[in-house]
């Protein structure tokens, strides 16, 4: 259904944006067209905002389920997700 598709796209968005920001910021790849400091910072803040929105929706959804097992599972998955995004 459409809401699960939207959530899936939202969760995958940082994994598309981070490599784009990384490669477009490399002068060895982009030469004269590499991102400047402003666009690096703006892109990084945008990615951070998207990750925060993702975490908000996950927390809101899991809290509405009222199940301790789901709380723990969501916490573990959130840490893994954020760790992988930070690694990228």
What is the CB neighbour count within 10 angstroms for residue 47?
20
* Token representation of residue 17: 């944006």
CA geometry: angle 77, 15, 72, nearest 5 deg: 5
Question: DSSP readout, 9-47?
Answer: HHHHHHHHHHHHHHHHT-HHHHGGG---HHHHHHHHHHH
**Residue recorded with tokens 């910021």:** 25
What is the CB neighbour count within 10 angstroms for residue 7?
14
Please give the model's pTM, rounded to 2 decimal places: 0.70
User: Region 22-44: what's the mean pLDDT?
Assistant: 92
Specify the pLDDT at position 30.
92
**Residue recorded with tokens 């991102």:** 35
Highest averaged pLDDT of the listed ranges 6-15, 35-44, 54-63: 35-44
Question: For residue 2, what pLDDT band results from cuts at 50, 70 and 90?
Answer: low
Question: For residue 7, what pLDDT band results from cuts at 50, 70 and 90?
Answer: low
**Residue recorded with tokens 């939207």:** 6
Judge whether residue 37 has pLDDT over 90: yes
């Amino acid at each position: 259904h459409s809401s699960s598709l939207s959530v899936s796209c939202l969760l995958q968005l940082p994994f598309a944006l981070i490599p784009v920001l990384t490669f477009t910021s490399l002068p060895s790849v982009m030469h004269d067209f590499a991102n400047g400091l402003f666009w690096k910072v703006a892109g990084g803040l945008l990615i951070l905002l998207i990750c925060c929105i993702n975490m908000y929706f996950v927390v809101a959804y899991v809290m509405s389920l009222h199940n301790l097992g789901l709380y723990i599972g969501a916490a573990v998955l959130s840490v893994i997700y954020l760790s992988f995004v930070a690694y990228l």
